[in-house]
Structure formats: structure tokens, C-alpha cells
Amino acid sequence: MNYIFKLFLLILIIGIGTLEAKKLEKIIIAGPFASVSHPILHMIKTDALKDVAKEVEFRLWKNPDELRAMAIKGDVDFLAIPTNTAAILSNKGIDIKLLNVSVWGILGMISRDENLNTLKDFKGKKIAVPFRADMPDIVFKQLLKRQGLDPKKDFELVYVSSPIDAMQMLIMRRIDHALLAEPAISVALRKTKSFPISLVAPDLYRSVDLQEEWARVFKTNGDIPQAGIAVMGSMKDKYIIQRFLEEYNKSLIWYTTHAKESGILVAKEMSLLTKEGVTDSISHIRLKSIDAKTAKKDLEFFFNILMEEDPKSVGKKLPQDEFYYGI
């Protein structure tokens, strides 16, 4: 009996040693300022992946070019990423798989005119749009065209290099309307009401929700699979991928149910955002984690709409089944 106990203890010790040996030195996650990244900050703060990695590092990408460079270089393990950008990379031969979709609605209009309730109401207006030919711009144009409007003739679209530039133009009264994504909308609304910016900034209003326009135009519930988490091919360990998803999902729930605390956490790590703006934004975003395999039908519908405007927006074709993790 004593021999059996010692043998069991030896096996247990060896097993624990094996598990320890599999712990990574570092997991590197990259993401934007946007809401898709915010649960990752909570994961890092709570040391949620301490059982699989000694260290977890978050790297910020500030624009689509930086994102693509990180993916091509391959020195990150996970990416918080727009779904169409992940599809582009996959179609270009980059070893990347989409794990989930967590952001299903983040786009909206912000305006100095509180009486603009639909996109048709913006006809003839000058509108700031960040990132020409990127996903928000394409969604915006498709919604206009589906309602019989011509983006080039019926609107004056002013393209800017970032949402921050669009916010500054609004605050400095250089433009009256902008297409933005949360939390930029909520941050802009808060900033224009804060001293001393409030002395010069105009009154701004939350205007058209593009997800509601999408629901009306395409006869859907309005969910748009805009962003999620992808895993790079260099990350082979299925258990670590599983643990990442488990903890991301837990942190996403925490983020949506602890708006005030989330605002404080995010603003501390991302100085361009304000805690009040992040807190306000959470109630205006459609957040839920759906695995890529389950979301495939919605993603392909979305990708087909994007390709109607610009085939290059998803890499000129729908991604292969291998793109969707779990298939």
C-alpha cells in the first residue's frame, strides 16, 4: 500500500513538473485603443493567464498599417483585430485564424445638429471620416448606396488619418459632423463639456447609430461582426488558446457589467481615452463573444457586403474554412 502511494505521488510530481515546463515565458497580445482590446487589459491586471504564461504583454497598434506589420512580422501571439483585416491577412497567406467576434456594433455619427436622425438627413453635409477605404468607411458608403444616395455627389467626405484627428476637427469647429467608433464618440462628447475645452468647443450630439441603419437596410437584428480576437499560427498550443478565450470571455463580461471600474482601468492604460468616456461608451456598444465557427454565417454575409464596395476589403474573396478557428 505504501509502495502504491509513493508511486502515485511520484506520478503526480512528474505531472506537475510537465505542466510547469509548458508554461510560456511570455504571451504577446496586440490591439487598438478600441473596445475590443479593453477586456485584455483586465486579463493582464488580474493575472488571468498566470497558469500558462509567466508574463503577458499588451502592444498597442495605432492604425491599420501598424496592425498589418505586426501580423506579417509574426512576433505577436494574439491580435485584437477588425474581422475584415483578419480575412485580408488570411487571404494573403498569413497564418492567422479568427477565434471569436466580440464587437457587434461600435459605429455611429456625431454631429453639431441634434435634429439629424438618419443618414439621409446628412445629405449635403461635410463629414469627417477616419481611415479611407477601411471597414467603417465601407460600411458607411454601403448604407448610403443602399438608400439611393451617392457618397461622392450627395456628401462632402473629408478623410482624416485617425479618429483623434476627427475629434479635434469637431472640437475646433473645423467640421460639424463625423463618423466615429466608440469609445471615441463618448470621449468626444465628454471632452467638449469639460473645462477649459468647453469654452471653445461647440455642443455635440450623439446622432445616427449605424447598426440601427444596418438593421433597417439589410433586414437584420443590426449586429455587425466588426472585431474580435485572432490567433497567429506561431501559437500552436490548443490548451493555451482555450485558456485565452476562457479568460477573455470572463473579462468581457466583467467589462460590460462594471462600467465605472472599466473606465478607470482603461484610461489608466490608454492615456488618450478618458475614464468617463469609456464608461459612457459601454452602454452604446454591442458586445458579446461568439466563437468564429458559430459566427461564420454572419461574417460571410458581412464580408460579401464589404466586397460589393471594395473586393480588396476582405482580400478579394471569402476566407477559407481554415480561417475560422474550430472548423
What band does 198 get if pLDDT is binned at 50, 70 and 90? confident
Q: Are residues 241 and 302 in the same domain?
A: yes
Which neighbouring-strand residues pair with 29? 58, 78
Contact criterion met (CB below 8 Å) for 209 and 139: no
pLDDT value of position 195: 54
pLDDT value of position 18: 42
What is residue 304's three-state secondary structure?
Answer: helix
Q: Are residues 213 and 276 in the same domain?
A: no
Tens of pLDDT, residues 59-72: 999 888 899 899 99
Q: Are residues 50 and 96 in the same domain?
A: yes
> Would the pLDDT of 13 be above 50?
no
Q: Which residues contact 21 (CB under 8 A, 6 or more apart)?
A: none
Q: Are residues 256 and 193 in the same domain?
A: no
> Would the pLDDT of 14 be above 60?
no
What's the mean per-residue pLDDT of the chain?
92
Distance in angstroms (rounded) separating the CA atoms of residues 151 and 139: 12
* Boundary of a domain, candidates 194, 218, 242: 218
* Boundary of a domain, candidates 218, 253, 276: 218
Contact criterion met (CB below 8 Å) for 212 and 160: no
Domain total in the chain? 2
**What cell numbers appear for 172 in the block?**
475646433
Q: Are residues 143 and 275 in the same domain?
A: no
Q: Are residues 89 and 111 in the same domain?
A: no
Q: Residue 178's domain spans which residues?
A: 107-218
Q: What percent of the chain has pLDDT over 70?
A: 93
Q: Are residues 130 and 187 in the same domain?
A: yes
- Range 202-230 average pLDDT: 97
pLDDT value of position 22: 77
* Boundary of a domain, candidates 154, 188, 218: 218
Distance in angstroms (rounded) separating the CA atoms of residues 221 and 291: 18
Alpha helices in the chain (DSSP H): 2-21, 38-45, 64-73, 83-91, 135-145, 163-171, 184-191, 210-218, 238-257, 259-269, 275-282, 292-309
- pTM metric for this prediction: 0.90
Distance in angstroms (rounded) separating the CA atoms of residues 58 and 79: 10
What band does 240 get if pLDDT is binned at 50, 70 and 90? very high
What band does 191 get if pLDDT is binned at 50, 70 and 90? confident
Q: Are residues 119 and 212 in the same domain?
A: yes
Q: Are residues 238 and 191 in the same domain?
A: no
**What cell numbers appear for 318 in the block?**
471569402
What is the residue-wise DSSP string for 104-123?
A: EE-EEEEES-TT--SGGGGT
Candidates 230, 201, 228, 226; CA nearest to 302 is 226
CA-to-CA dists, residue 175 to 29, 108, 155, angstroms: 36, 16, 13
Q: Are residues 261 and 283 in the same domain?
A: yes
Which neighbouring-strand residues pair with 82? 227
Tens of pLDDT, residues 260-313: 999 999 999 999 899 999 999 999 999 999 999 999 999 999 999 999 999 999
> Would the pLDDT of 186 be above 60?
yes
Q: Are residues 123 and 89 in the same domain?
A: no
**CATH code: domain of residue 119:** 3.40.190.10
Contact criterion met (CB below 8 Å) for 76 and 28: yes
Q: Are residues 46 and 75 in the same domain?
A: yes
What band does 192 get if pLDDT is binned at 50, 70 and 90? confident
Distance in angstroms (rounded) separating the CA atoms of residues 116 and 194: 24
